[in-house]
Amino acid sequence: GQQLNQSPQSMFIQEGEDVSMNCTSSSIFNTWLWYKQDPGEGPVLLIALYKAGELTSNGRLTAQFGITRKDSFLNISASIPSDVGIYFCAAPAGRGANNLFFGTGTRLTVIP
Amino acid sequence: GAGVSQSPSNKVTEKGKDVELRCDPISGHTALYWYRQSLGQGLEFLIYFQGNSAPDKSGLPSDRFSAERTGGSVSTLTIQRTQQEDSAVYLCASSKTGGTEAFFGQGTRLTVV
């Protein structure tokens, strides 16, 4: 089945630094979603992408839908302590099958 | 309701007992998903409901797991004869249609002792 590989698995950065993470697959997708999960909470949707090449921002977050449709990227600028958490990418299973699969996650730690 | 609601928020049960976990999706959302998350791990897909279509049960780990969605709204995930390896957070999500932006509940933390 589909597998969404996220990298890096974990990151330790200084407050104020920019962050980049990505999600790749061997399959083509028409939608990419990025979520953040705080400890003890359910994942929260950050950004949704629906078109190859699309670049969408949400505050300090910017996500891009890769032109090959097999990958997506999430950038966080000027990180702050509350950015700490696990970031997941997600994509629907395939044409006509709209179950959502999730990536393996990137755990972000911001050092004040 | 305004968001996805799950109950109970925490459940401790003895090994071998059955448990039922409930999910109230966002009103009007036709798609509903159940996931399981073990400590420090990613989201493991369990089951997906879309409207009146037959559910996608391909992620259920064993026949001890089952789920229903009554009237296209509330869903119940049932685990029979619970085992210690069933201990995890069970997350429910809903979306307007399948494959689009899904919104999660807070989850039910299940501990089997």
- pLDDT for B1: 54
Predicted confidence pLDDT, tens digits, chain A (112 residues): 568 999 999 999 999 999 999 999 998 988 999 999 998 899 999 999 999 999 999 999 999 999 999 999 999 999 999 999 999 999 987 655 567 889 999 999 999 9
Going by C-beta distance under 8 Å and a sequence separation of 6 or more, which residues neighbour residue B41?
Answer: none
Cβ of B30: how many Cβ atoms within 10 Å? 17
pLDDT of residue A97: 57
Q: Residue B98: which of A43, A98, A103 has the nearest Cβ?
A: A98
Given CB atoms, is B14 within the 8 Å cutoff of chain A?
no
Q: Tell which phi-psi region holds residue B75, choosing left (phi > 0), alpha (psi between -120 and 50) or beta.
A: beta
Q: Which of residues 33-72 of B touch A (CB under 8 A)?
A: 33, 35, 42-43, 45, 48, 50, 56
| Whether B76 contacts B68, CB under 8 Å | yes
What distance in Å separates the CA atoms of residue A4 and residue B63, rounded to the nearest whole number?
Answer: 26
| Residue of A3, A100, A102, A109 to mutate, testing the B interface (most B Cβ within 10 Å of its Cβ) | A100
Query: Is the CB of A42 less than 8 angstroms away from the CB of B91?
Result: yes
Q: Is any Cβ of chain A less than 8 angstroms from the Cβ of B112?
A: no
